[in-house]
Amino acid sequence: MKKHLMLVALVSALALVAASCGGDEEGGETGPTGPTAETGAGVTQGGVVREELTDFGFTGAFDPTGEYLGTAWSWYQQMLIRGLLMYPGVAGEEGNVPVPDLATDLGQVSADGLTVTFTLKDGVMFGPPVDREITSQDIAFAFQRINTESLVAQYGNYYCGTIVGMTCDAKSQDEPIEGIETPDDKTIVFTLERPTGDLLYRLAQPATYAMPPEVAGCFDKAGDYGRFLISSGPYMFMGSEDLDITSCDTMKPIEGWDPDSHMYLVRNPNYDAATDDVRDANFDGWTLTINTNLEDSYNKLLNGELDLLHGAPPAAILQQYLTNPDLQDNFKSEEGDRTWYLTMNLLVPPFDDIHVRKAANFVVDKAAMLQSTGGPSSGLIATTIEPPSVLPDLADYDPYASPNHAGDVEAAKAEMQQSRYDEDGDGVCDDPACDNVLMVNRNYEPWTEYTPILQENFAEIGINLKVRELEVGTSYTTIQTMNNLVPIAANAGWGKDYGSPYGFDFFLFNTAGLSCEGSVNYSNVGITEDVAKECGDNVVDAYNAAVEANGEIPNVDADMEACVATPLGPEYNACWAALDQKLMEEIVPWVPYRWGAANIALGDTVENYTFDQSAGLIAYSKIGVNNGLTIEEVTGTA
Amino acid sequence: MLRYIVRRLLWVLVTLLLITLITYLIFFVMPPTKPEVNFAGKQPTPELVAEVRRQFGLDKPVIVQYGLFAKRIFLGDEYGWPGLGFSFTTRDALKPIIFDRLLVTLQLAIGAAILWLLVGIPIGILSALRPRSVFDRAAMGFALFGVSTPVFFLGPVLLYIFWFKLGWLPGSGFYSIGQYGFEEWFMHMIMPWSVLALAFAAFYARMTRGNLIEAMGEDYIRTARAKGLSERRVVMKHGLRASLTPIVTILGLDLGALLGGALITETVFNLPGLGAFAVKSVFSGDLYAILDVTLIAAFFITFANLVVDVVYAFLDPRVRYT
């Protein structure tokens, strides 16, 4: 009964949020701001948003089933395709809460929490050349694709093991899933293995969005559908109408999207704004082109040849934006929902001792690190694992506080005194394990700026860091390979998958995140002897030595299980807040030092600037642009 | 001569195979990154990694992988001939991407080469004919500036002055003739050509000057003058022919190397050529793309060597091949 009430409360709470978001199409509580802020109907209709990037950087070739890049998720959701639920495209906590899109509401949950039913809106169509109404089978098909092994659903873990019959190892995308029923074209019913508090978040992820089997079903290898994506949102790839779908063999990639150079979007003629409570879709087209010269892109923006750019600008240009009064309003620094941290390995001396890890948290000068990154425009000083817009309960939590966040050497020494690496009790490590301690880092700014700061900080407690600065991909591969036994690393950062703490924490600290290659639980929280044995003799030796010295390696799997089963709401957040506190105080795998900002630079042509918290990018569905251009003029196809 | 060319072509094939084998070993056997991990997402579970490895063909023994690669090159693959494989990043065939980018690099390299020959050789000749004159000193000053000014400095400076500040020329980017017309294409190529050509023009001017001064002191030049030939004929027919022979060698090698991609110029001016593609591929661990670009660059260099050797026979009567 209690569980039933909690579920009712959850649905009610989300319905209220949805109502408030759905009714306010101008960006929720943040309101419109920016160089030419407009409101409501005042936003210019038409024009083309022109943007550049140095590289697409897709992880799954833009096939929604596998794609794991946050920017891709934003483009899907804000412009291209629609699912049962989505995010409202506003800033702050509200922006991280799902709202209905194709679904009429947030779903009906059964009393036992194991069945969730959604009804689809009428009249939502796929774009050309499919030109038919979206049905519940199109949603079910998206799940069948997630479940198909060869399609490499990169975040299939959110569904497999949660929805009955989903195992992510199906041999064909045509295999139906036991736990997904479509009794009619407008109804879809999910049966769950266990109550799942944040299911709605998972259903707002783009891999679950409607996909037409007659096109997507032609592609059975990872990423192949990306060039043929069929629109259901307000925009589609330019040239979509020319795609010949009479058979799988007649389809040629759509011209408006070339992964080597550009992505051009135009309006989808089948899109009906009456079916959409979230997207305003003010502009007529969007062009994204690759420019390998970042500085050049910013000069184009300043010259009026572009309308917006995402990401951190080169230092000289950033300074212009921060100091020139004419430009200050054109530069936005928003909460990026990303934590940058030092990761410490629980198996490797001297960080196998919790007191050393606590000392590390006290001694690091986070203020200096933030300053060397570019100051407040690059983010906030992190005091715990989850960023505040993901887990607001811990916004004021700082277990290792220091004056001005500049580090507290005395507190650090007090911790070091309690460790077995400080035999004379002077607060400075006097064990050989503290000499030449390997720290992996990236080989470019601002990470290279961190190196001297961290070497100086750690020297205060007797730890001499030997730093290896590597290209970013190599630095990740190095710490992801467990038998490298890297003691400490400064190259790592982690952004949310979605705005629930589960979507942030799970793989970082769960044993599911441990593997010999590609491990993301870099600290080895919860590692067992069996896992260590799989990864090599040196890992077993390190494991045995750590267990002998410190006892069993702490494990938080059970804590996570308990949190996952808690219905969404205050108790859910409290559960995850308690887990984060446990991690920060009883396990201490990280030194979180910065909650990264999302930077956006705008041209004077952009209207109704709104930030989409869920994606960490501009809310494309809300903004307008008053450049008066047509897609033909911009792409040279006039 | 024909037997010589055939023999050299066979050696080109052997060289290319050796180069691909070495590249293969560097990137596939001891890679700095693991593409199957990179392309399994942020949470690369062992199952995902294994599936990606299988789809990329990395689950087979290295020697088998290389054998399949070499076989595809000669016999073609599912995307046609030559079989250049697919991109790990885009999952698309590499052949059209590489050929499109090669066209851009060709336009850049050939345009720049014409420019540096038109500028460098006349400057070198005039300097040689008036050594230690004001013109000679100014020209050699230009040469010193050109050789010592890196593209990554000069490119942004020119962009800033002529595009951003003065607005006389358009900014970066490639605007194909087919899509945007000749004028748009030409205007966008002026700065990349100029920047790339400057260093080469300076070098060619110095080399032409040195060679011509040396040639003009030879006995056969004195003989030509003694026979009453005009100075113009002495310089153009006898002096220049001898002094340009080494220039042809260097031009062939320079062009061959540039066709593998003028990395910095392409990056600064946002030209989608082979050099920029090679860098992107290395950073993303797109192994077949790296191999293909290496293969093409090696082909142009070895082929250019062959062409230079053949041309030598026509330029220098003393050279004969059997």
B235-290 pLDDT, tens digit each: 888 888 888 888 888 888 888 888 877 888 998 999 999 998 998 888 888 889 99
- Chain B, 55 to 74: residues with Cβ < 8 Å from chain A are 55
- For A602-628, what is the mean pLDDT? 96
Closest CA to A378 of A369, A366, A370, A387: A370
Q: From CA A454, how far away is CA A303, in angstroms rounded?
A: 40
- Chain A, 132 to 151: residues with Cβ < 8 Å from chain B are 149-150
How much is the pLDDT for A8? 37
How much is the pLDDT for B320? 67
Residue A194 · residue A33 · CB < 8 Å: no
**pLDDT at A2 > cutoff 60:** no
Q: From CA A506, how far away is CA A501, in angstroms rounded?
A: 8
Residue A544 · residue A176 · CB < 8 Å: no
Tell me the CA distances in angstroms from A400 to A81, A252, A365, A372, one per residue in order.
44, 57, 11, 21
Tell me the CA distances in angstroms from A286 to A30, A313, A609, one per residue in order.
24, 21, 16
Q: From CA A31, how far away is CA A65, in angstroms rounded?
A: 33
Least CA distance to A506: which residue of chain B?
B43
Is A320 an 8 Å CB contact of chain B?
A: no
Q: What is the pTM of this model?
A: 0.86
Higher local confidence (pLDDT), B90 or A489? A489
Is A518 an 8 Å CB contact of chain B?
A: yes
**pLDDT at A375 > cutoff 50:** yes
Q: How confident is the model at residue A374 (pLDDT cuts 50, 70, 90)?
A: confident
CA A351, A352, A356, A357 torsion-angle sign: positive
- For A302-315, what is the mean pLDDT? 92
Residue A205 · residue A73 · CB < 8 Å: yes
Least CA distance to B32: which residue of chain A?
A474
How much is the pLDDT for A506? 85
Residue A443 · residue A469 · CB < 8 Å: yes
Q: How confident is the model at residue A427 (pLDDT cuts 50, 70, 90)?
A: very high
Q: Closest CB to B42: pick one of A68, A150, A299.
A: A68
Is A161 an 8 Å CB contact of chain B?
A: no
Greatest mean pLDDT range, A227-231, A473-477, A560-564, B93-97 = A227-231
Is B91 an 8 Å CB contact of chain A?
A: yes
Residue B62 · residue B29 · CB < 8 Å: yes
DSSP string, A21-57: HHH-TT-GGG--BSTB---GGGSPP--EEEEEES---
The CB-based long-range contact list for B55-64 (8 Å cut-off, 24+ gap) reads B55/A150, B55/A152, B55/A221, B55/A222, B56/B88, B58/B28, B62/B24, B62/B25, B62/B28, B62/B29
Rg (CA), chain B: 24
**pLDDT at A5 > cutoff 60:** no
Report chain B residues whose CB lies below 8 A from the CB of A302. 164
**pLDDT at A41 > cutoff 60:** no
Residue B143 · residue B205 · CB < 8 Å: yes
Q: How confident is the model at residue A504 (pLDDT cuts 50, 70, 90)?
A: confident
Nearest CA of chain B to the CA of A270: how many Å? 28
**At which residue do the structure tokens 């000289």 appear?**
A316
Least CA distance to B177: which residue of chain A?
A636
How much is the pLDDT for A21? 33
Closest CA to A241 of A254, A252, A250, A232: A254
- Tens digits of residue pLDDT in A532-541: 999 999 999 9
- For A125-136, what is the mean pLDDT? 98
- Chain B, 185 to 244: residues with Cβ < 8 Å from chain A are none
Helices (H) and strands (E) in chain B, counts: 15, 0
Structure tokens at A17: 């949020």
Q: From CA B269, how far away is CA B108, in angstroms rounded?
A: 11
How much is the pLDDT for B43? 76
Closest CA to A223 of B92, B129, B146, B234: B92
Nearest CA of chain A to the CA of B40: how many Å? 6
Report chain A residues whose CB lies below 8 A from the CB of B163. 299
Beta bridge partners of B86: B93
- DSSP secondary-structure letter at A375? G
Contact at CB, A477 and B156, closer than 8 angstroms: no
Sort residue A243 into left (φ over 0), alpha (ψ -120 to 50) or beta. beta
Q: From CA A248, how far away is CA A263, in angstroms rounded?
A: 23
Phi and psi at residue A405, in whole multiples of 5°? 60, 25
CA A67 to chain centroid: 12
Mutate to test the interface with B, among A249, A251, A261, A296 (most CBs of B within 10 A): A296
- For A234-251, what is the mean pLDDT? 96
- For A623-632, what is the mean pLDDT? 97
Mutate to test the interface with B, among A224, A260, A288, A509 (most CBs of B within 10 A): A260
**pLDDT at B143 > cutoff 90:** no
Greatest mean pLDDT range, A22-26, A36-40, A459-463 = A459-463
Report chain A residues whose CB lies below 8 A from the CB of B97. 260
- Tens digits of residue pLDDT in A330-341: 999 999 999 999
Q: Closest CB to A477: pick one of B37, B172, B184.
A: B37
Is B89 an 8 Å CB contact of chain A?
A: yes
Share of chain B above pLDDT 90, in %: 31
Residue A569 · residue A9 · CB < 8 Å: yes
Q: From CA A518, how far away is CA A2, in angstroms rounded?
A: 41
> H or E stretch including A574?
helix A570-582
CA B136, B137, B138, B143 torsion-angle sign: positive
Residue B243 · residue B214 · CB < 8 Å: yes
Residue A476 · residue A490 · CB < 8 Å: no
Which segments of A460-566 does DSSP mark as H helices, in order?
472-480, 501-509, 529-534, 537-550, 557-564
Q: From CA A66, how far away is CA A49, in angstroms rounded?
A: 27
How much is the pLDDT for A489? 98
ipTM of the predicted assembly exceeds 0.95? no
DSSP string, A264-306: EEEE-TT--GGG-SS----SSEEEEEE-S-HHHHHHHHHTTS-
Q: How confident is the model at residue B32 (pLDDT cuts 50, 70, 90)?
A: low
Share of chain A above pLDDT 70, in %: 93
Q: From CA A141, how far away is CA A174, in angstroms rounded?
A: 8
**At which residue do the structure tokens 């705005």 appear?**
A499
- For B178-198, what is the mean pLDDT? 92
- For B197-209, what is the mean pLDDT? 91
Contact at CB, A261 and B48, closer than 8 angstroms: no
Least CA distance to B267: which residue of chain A?
A292
Which segments of A348-446 does DSSP mark as H helices, in order?
354-363, 366-373, 409-417
Report chain B residues whose CB lies below 8 A from the CB of A292. 266-267, 270, 276, 280
Q: Closest CB to A221: pick one of B41, B55, B270.
A: B55
- Tens digits of residue pLDDT in B291-308: 899 889 888 888 888 888
Q: From CA A313, how far away is CA A290, in angstroms rounded?
A: 16
Q: From CA A627, how far away is CA A303, in angstroms rounded?
A: 13
Mean pLDDT of all residues belonging to chain A: 91
**pLDDT at B7 > cutoff 90:** no
Mean pLDDT of all residues belonging to chain B: 87
**pLDDT at B49 > cutoff 90:** no
**At which residue do the structure tokens 């799970």 appear?**
A506
Greatest mean pLDDT range, A23-37, A594-608, B271-285 = A594-608
Residue A35 · residue A602 · CB < 8 Å: yes
Interchain CB contacts (distance < 8 Å): A and B:
147
Q: How confident is the model at residue A47 (pLDDT cuts 50, 70, 90)?
A: very high
**pLDDT at A27 > cutoff 50:** no
How many other C-beta atoms are found inside a 10 Å radius of the C-beta of residue A13?
16
One-letter amino acid identity for A386? E
- For A12-17, what is the mean pLDDT? 37
Closest CA to A522 of A484, A472, A468: A484
Rounded to the nearest 10°, the torsion over CA B294, B300, B301, B303 is: 130
Lowest-pLDDT range, A114-118, A224-228, A257-261, B68-72?
Answer: B68-72
Tell me the CA distances in angstroms from A203 to A83, A108, A139, A533, B216, one per residue in order.
8, 14, 10, 37, 82
Closest CA to A230 of A99, A76, A60, A119: A76
How much is the pLDDT for B265? 93
Q: From CA A598, how far away is CA B130, in angstroms rounded?
A: 61
Q: How confident is the model at residue B311 (pLDDT cuts 50, 70, 90)?
A: confident
How much is the pLDDT for A26? 29
How much is the pLDDT for A11? 38
Angle between helices B240-259 and B94-129 (to 10 degrees): 150
Residue B245 · residue B233 · CB < 8 Å: no
Question: What residues have CB less than 8 Å from B67, skipping those under 6 apart?
Answer: none
- Chain A, 38 to 57: residues with Cβ < 8 Å from chain B are 55, 57
Report chain A residues whose CB lies below 8 A from the CB of B33. 473-474, 476-477
Report chain B residues whose CB lies below 8 A from the CB of A293. 156, 172, 267-270
Least CA distance to B263: which residue of chain A?
A292
Closest CA to A315 of A368, A367, A371: A371
- For A432-443, what is the mean pLDDT? 96
Nearest CA of chain B to the CA of A21: how many Å? 30
How many other C-beta atoms are found inside a 10 Å radius of the C-beta of residue A612?
27
3-state per-residue secondary structure call for A54-83:
CCCCCCCCCCCCCCCCHHHHHHHHHHHCCC
How many other C-beta atoms are found inside a 10 Å radius of the C-beta of residue B138?
12
> What angle (nearest 5°) sits at the alpha carbon of residue A79, between those of residues A78 and A84?
65
CA B314 to chain centroid: 24
